[in-house]
Structure 1
């Protein structure tokens, strides 16, 4: 049964309600007439024209092909092909669009690339391999571009994102990246960093790279690195590239007390996994669960990829001596309706996936498995494919 309203269309099938708002599903919000055809499709006359909502059966491969084509057309930035959102100049009109840098280029591109790794493992499609390799190399460049240049970062530090120097305005001149802006923001966020420049230049002078990299980005890096190593890399040369970037990044964290340290010699705002910070600093208690889960996951990925047992030994020490395994059982401090933030959920599930694959201590794995299942139960109704497939792969049976 369909209902028309001035704020969109509503469908009820006897068990579930569905809401279809204007411009996303139909041309306008003011629904003036509805006609349902024999196939169950609904024609809706609106204040901005007529639209059709239909259910079109398709395979997962067909659905993936549609979205991959859309990404290749609209959602890539720079020759490296970073995957991010596209902004349409006119709503609903894909004739003109623009892309811009995003603080989470590392996370989004990492998730996309990991999906292509899974696609290659399932199909052996050479195009999936090409896309996965491009995404891996794009994120590997984030760790290379920070070395040398105007304000070099310590080895193993990945950039948030990059911009070409040629033809671009110096982003450091934007008011949002000024010292004054940082000082103002610190008034509402006491842990915010006053840092300049936010966009150092690379050693070859071709790129601005953004600093103050967050834990979000590291989650994306480790997620694709592990998938690429296991599912795509076939030659020793390919595997060595993964080993090197994972080793450098993980050693950086270990050598800096489990903190990601920027070009100014200080930790970034969000990538802090130190036991002293998470367990003993009251300002960081909200990050305790998720960041504990993250660092345990990173260390097990590093152990798996490099074969060096030191990473597993450190993970074991954090898990028990610093109670990170217990911390990781509760990665979200908020519970209840409206309390979840989607990108935090994605971060948690990437780390759950890696940790449950590579954790060698059965006690820790049992604790994390329980945490993962409980978390998924809270998100099950969202019908998120990644969440559901990850849970099915690791918790079912």
Structure 2
């Protein structure tokens, strides 16, 4: 039987997922999320160098510097501590927090003191004899210098002490006991003597965890008990094995290094490095407050990782408000850049090659939001952005051709060659429209038709828009014809072009899919027979359906193919994944009949299976809404882990020793998956959906910021598909 003989059965607009069944919705409960807070140093102290940080019992932060004692002030500001006039002009040599009480103690060259206990604890000392202080909950005060030590109780001197022969790295207090760490040993103060309980090499730090002590070194760490016996073996499979300092917070070990900080989780290490978290990566000290927030001190700044409770709904509201305020350009969703990288007030929205594609994520999110909530504002936002798509068709004189983008005359930010003046002399438009843009047109047309267009006038408005585009494509032998009368570089769906690709190249499968999807959608919207007959002609005479069903496992390194001087087939283009999955929604929901729909579900599942390691929530949800397949855990992981701070910081992970790397061979690892396990988004370069999720180094810098629709579309799809309750 020919495909054209199969009866037409238009798909329902709200098709339930099939085959894999339905998942139980995940309740959107609060979860903990790390948030970066960077403190600003008062300008009058711009050359100060930081040495040590502590957090007292009131969560006040104190920093030992070469210019005296500094502290935190409202607004995440750091400046010199002038609150006590009698201490303002004095320079402490060390500070510490008393175990148990959280009181701050100061060690000066000639005395130690605290402002607690009404200031009654203060003892004079021999000048410059002691350099380090520690205080336990019994009010015992230990002072250590280069040659000797001394123990006080409050103001009363208890005894003089010797010190171990090894140079002190740091004093510690745990369970009222004093500990002395050197590079070669750990000592416990027992009455008036230091008892060596553990010998080691290149020791750098300690962290106490009940009856255990984690010992940091220049090559990883291990764990001993309080008698010095090793109870957990040496581990140097860390993000950075050279450890500067350690803490235990809520039973978890935190590590400070010259290349950032990290915490040991049950299954992995969470890594905090790069400008996303730190003003520089060299962490010289760290502290934790009573709420479990971490403070990382670098030589030049104080950085806080604050753990907040949020829900996905709250994150979506934040993303929505931020996008509306700072990322709308003529209705397009636009990433921003700072004209002055050091001034956050110099934000600018520039034209982009794929304004239509990127905006389809935002418009799509609002269409699904309206389907879920029936909020009129969401519907208003859909039509607002649709106006920008409509203007892409009318800003130039080419019938049915959609420009890439437009801008006022004289303000073009991108490349200038593809731009042309519009009939309205106040505007210019950009040509060379690609398949990426066409995918955006497909997707926004379908979701507006499904969820936002309700009146006959609205339905016709959407149909006329897409009808014009598809008429242009069919009339011009399945090409986008540009201002020069020639096909654009990538706007090509002609069989000669599509079938010129080998069956091992994804372009053959993808372009066939785009063609059939566009024809199906146009037929559903307009009822014009030409779209149906052309779709079946392409499938039967030119093998487009067979092309669409090429197994994803068949796609591999393919040499010897060039398109206008561009080598193709020798790498995996993740933009193709993005285009495919957005198109799958339309392909499936606008299928001519159930037989085709089942074929489409199989090919979507085939693609989804190979994409699973990337844990992309959007691909999961687009698959679930069509083939019925979903990795629910990864979907929630993605949404909860997507950072609200969308700056595209430069990050680096390739140096990490805790990661298991895969071979770079293009034949055995064609998808360029760098590691066996995917890193969280907050540790990777922040990219749109068209990038390889396994890119672990890179980024464009804090002066560029994504819009947040990368989160909004999968969030509202998850709500629509009842994945999130």
**TM class by shorter-chain length?**
0.7 to 0.9
Q: Which is further off, 242-251 or 254-263?
A: 254-263
Residues 239-258 of structure 1: matches in 2 within 5 Å? 239-258=459-478
Aligned twin of 2:523: 303
Q: Report the CA distance between 1:219 and its aligned residue.
A: 0.5
Distance 1:45 1:392, change over 3 A: farther
Aligned twin of 2:684: none
**Partner Cα separation in structure 1 for residue 334 and residue 407 of structure 2:** 14
Higher helix share: 1
C-alpha deviations, 1:125-177, integer Å up to 9, x for none? 22211211111111111011122xxxxx2x11000010112xx2578xx9x54
Aligned twin of 1:353: 585
The two structures have a TM-score, normalised by structure 2, of 0.47
In the alignment, does 2:600 pair up with 1:368? yes
In the alignment, does 2:395 pair up with 1:163? no
Q: Report the CA distance between 1:62 and its aligned residue.
A: 1.4
Q: Which is further off, 122-131 or 284-293?
A: 284-293
Aligned twin of 2:533: 313
C-alpha deviations, 1:26-52, integer Å up to 9, x for none? 333223334455655433333442333
Q: Report the CA distance between 1:10 and its aligned residue.
A: 3.1
**Partner Cα separation in structure 2 for residue 376 and residue 68 of structure 1:** 28
In the alignment, does 2:431 pair up with 1:211? yes
In the alignment, does 2:610 pair up with 1:378? yes
C-alpha deviations, 1:335-359, integer Å up to 9, x for none? 8xx9654433221111111101111
Distance 1:240 1:13, change over 3 A: same
2:273 to 21, 25, 39: 21
Distance 1:15 1:256, change over 3 A: same
Aligned twin of 2:546: 326
Aligned twin of 1:83: 333
Distance 1:100 1:37, change over 3 A: same
Q: Which is further off, 201-210 or 49-58?
A: 49-58
C-alpha deviations, 1:179-226, integer Å up to 9, x for none? xxxxxxxxxxxxxxxxxxx22222222210001111101111111111
Higher strand share: 2
**Partner Cα separation in structure 2 for residue 160 and residue 73 of structure 1:** 23
2:350 to 74, 83, 100: 100
Aligned twin of 1:344: 576
Distance 1:231 1:15, change over 3 A: same
Q: Report the CA distance between 1:90 and its aligned residue.
A: 5.1
SS at match of 2:353: coil
Is the 1:296–1:315 contact (alpha carbons within 8 Å) kept by the matching residues of 2? yes
Q: Report the CA distance between 1:54 and its aligned residue.
A: 4.2
Aligned twin of 2:321: 69
**Partner Cα separation in structure 2 for residue 16 and residue 329 of structure 1:** 38
Aligned twin of 1:8: 260
The two structures have a TM-score, normalised by structure 1, of 0.82
Is the 1:257–1:274 contact (alpha carbons within 8 Å) kept by the matching residues of 2? yes
2:385 to 135, 141, 144: 135
Q: Which is further off, 132-141 or 301-310?
A: 301-310
**Partner Cα separation in structure 2 for residue 246 and residue 219 of structure 1:** 12
Structure 2 gaps, min length 5: 1-252, 558-569, 630-725
**Partner Cα separation in structure 1 for residue 336 and residue 389 of structure 2:** 20
Q: Report the CA distance between 1:55 and its aligned residue.
A: 4.4
1:119 to 369, 374, 381: 369
Q: Report the CA distance between 1:304 and its aligned residue.
A: 2.0
**Partner Cα separation in structure 1 for residue 412 and residue 588 of structure 2:** 43
Larger Rg: 2
Distance 1:227 1:43, change over 3 A: same
Structure 1 gaps, min length 5: 148-152, 179-197
**Partner Cα separation in structure 2 for residue 56 and residue 308 of structure 1:** 54
Is the 2:501–2:507 contact (alpha carbons within 8 Å) kept by the matching residues of 1? no
In the alignment, does 2:285 pair up with 1:53? no
How many residues get paired?
363
**Partner Cα separation in structure 2 for residue 75 and residue 263 of structure 1:** 29
Aligned twin of 2:500: 280
Of structures 1 and 2, the one scoring higher in RCO (CA 8 A, sep 6+) is: 2
Distance 1:288 1:62, change over 3 A: same
Distance 1:367 1:11, change over 3 A: farther
Residues 216-227 of structure 1: matches in 2 within 5 Å? 216-227=436-447
Q: CA RMSD in A?
A: 2.8
